[in-house]
Structure 1
């Protein structure tokens, strides 16, 4: 039930993002909004002296990013206050983390410009650095890219994370809901995000995937048409030592293979962002051909019948 709820939330976010029309199409217009960090620390420093909840003001003054983070993450000022009191030392670790954000801002503008080259239709959302309850490192919302600043101990990897979330704003992937669809959505965001930033954000999953490729590809062929996401996205059953979100890895590998097979690379990026039929996309990628042929042979079916 929890997995289905997560997927429904993602579908809602995706559809809302696609309907967003007020983002700039100029990569140099990228907005970095950090006022929520200042407001958070003002509230934090009032905790010992205030008789009430100082985070009420933080919420009231909040940017659209705080509002986007509220419903499923911050919840309300009382929920935030309770977690901050309990984890004061953990929050303190991020107090000065945004001091070097200006250098990252220049880097992100370059990443945005790279996407504009590969995908001229790209839209560029604002980026909000907010404080939540240690339950999210970041998300794509209709308001823009929202970063959970309390989870940052430094700015290493922030450009890659923003690049990944940026791609979700460009995606319009349709077709029947199944494991394959969601894996190429996440893996595609990783692939294009890495292409424009040069940074990989899921190193543990990718290392495990490469080390266990044969076993995982066989399993994925058995599972990819199902609506059961366990062990591939958003959690594992603990049946083995796999990390969470191996679907990012296999979605990346499928996308990479598709990209490599296309002569017109710029056109390939547009096609990756606008997949209409995930099964046909998989077929054209050729990545799992050997495993699909083996699977179909065991079922006495043809290769083409799989798709």
Structure 2
């Protein structure tokens, strides 16, 4: 989910500024210590830490991944304090999500190991789960790795009510973005097809390595009208206005149907391929969205295994 606007940007920070040797390892580090650090500061201040405390006792002494999150998303002590003042409940409520972190870390390490097995050329940057300023939930890119904010992801119950499953699949989705060609994954003004394939590929990889897609609700809201939805999508593939298909979900109005269609296109490509390893490599290397679509064998309403 690049979760760009779809960004459920958690403060899970993955950094790509790694030594070359680290990117070739078959093991990725999943860090959660920034969360514990934040709540030590938070609890010591009775739930009302100052901007100065948040800056100097949390952000300044946090991990490299937290520093990357702060740099990319302008997370400062003042901005966290501002969100705390306006929305104190999200930080109080996020404590419940801390309980799943050990199991999340264990499952993610297993999922990333599976990615390395299926795609040996994978870059394996670390993952850091931290606390941010309420948004975004999560970002993953080839240039900067993955960042995720616990408080933001914890608040997105509409994605999946199962907290552990939500964290694992969203982070697996973001991790998939770190493998994609920047020409597609980081294109500033993608078409509906390009954006949907970038997000759909991340959904497919999340399912492949973690067992489920992250936008699980999309199958339910498209059930019985798959052909109609995809026929409408096919008419919009070259549009650069993404409003109808991507980054338009809200808690009271789940949407983002481009994720679902893109996932089905990528799945069709993978299922039709004889060499699954090469198919996954081609999915990550994809830069020509129309060529990939043509090679996938997808058509509106296609039945997939």
Whether the TM-score (by the shorter chain) exceeds 0.5 is: yes
* C-alpha separation in 2, matches of 1:92 and 1:226: 41
Rg larger in structure: 1
Query: Which of residues 231, 238, 257 is equivalent to 1:246?
Result: 257
- Normalising to structure 1: TM-score of the pair? 0.78
Deviations 1:27-63 (A, max 9, x none): 33x2122221122112212435877632122121122
1:27 aligns to what SS in structure 2?
Answer: coil
Any residues of structure 2 matched to 1:277-292 within 5 Å, and which? 277-288=288-299
Instruction: Give the number of equivalent residue pairs.
Output: 275
Is this contact kept in 1: 2:226–2:301, CA < 8 A?
A: no
Q: Is the counterpart of residue 222 in structure 1 residue 227 in structure 2?
A: no
* Aligned with residue 168 of structure 1, among 159, 168, 177: 177
**Matching residue of 1:40:** 38
- 2:10 aligns with none
- Summarize the Cα distance change of 1:216–1:197 in structure 2 as closer, same or farther, 3 Å threshold: same
Correspondence for 2:225: 212
User: Cα RMSD between the aligned structures?
Assistant: 3.1
Higher RCO by CA contacts (8 Å cutoff, separation 6 or greater): 2
Gaps of 5+ in 1: 8-15, 292-307
Query: Relative to structure 1, is the Cα distance of residues 232 and 214 closer, same or farther in structure 2, using a 3 angstrom cutoff?
Result: same
Q: CA deviation at 1:190?
A: 0.6
Unaligned 5+ segments in structure 2 are: 7-14, 156-162
Alpha-carbon deviation of 1:174?
4.2
Check whether the contact 1:194–1:200 (CA below 8 A) recurs between aligned residues: yes
Aligned to 2:23: 24
Contact 1:128/1:144 (8 A) holds in 2: no
1:39-94 superposed Cα distances (whole Å, 9 cap, x missing partner) = 21122124358776321221211223222322564542112112113333331222
Comparing 157-166 with 49-58, greater Cα deviation is found at 49-58
Distance 1:169 1:205 in 2: 23
- Pairing partner for 1:195 from 199, 204, 208: 208
Q: CA deviation at 1:270?
A: 0.8
Change (3 A) 1:93 1:59: same
Give the conservation status (yes or no) of the 8 Å contact 1:186–1:251: yes
Match of 1:183, SS state, is helix
C-alpha distance in 1, partners of 2:285/2:211? Answer: 22
| TM-score using structure 2 length | 0.78
Cα 1:80/1:223, change in 2 over 3 Å: same
